[in-house]
A = this chain, B = another copy of it.
């Protein structure tokens, strides 16, 4: 079974860059990556926060949050 990874972003330049170069670099044989635009899906901000995401772009892999560079704080997306 593949490990679930969720890439949370807000469409910002830092986010798009991380999406194209890092989220897209994960091994497709082992990971299933969901992309969530928190600016468009505000109902999922709480889920991201619960996973420990404090800023975007953020990548949650197997339940662990990884903040990649810094695009925007999650507070700005509420």
Contact = CB atoms under 8 A, between A and B. Distances in A.
A46 interface: no
B21 A61 contact: yes
Contacts of A68: 66-68
> How many copies are assembled?
2
A66 B25 CA distance: 12
Interface residues of A, number: 21
A59 interface: yes
Contacts of A40: none
Contacts of A69: 66-67
Nearest to A58: B69
4 closest residue pairs by CB, A with B: A27-B27, A25-B26, A66-B68, A21-B61
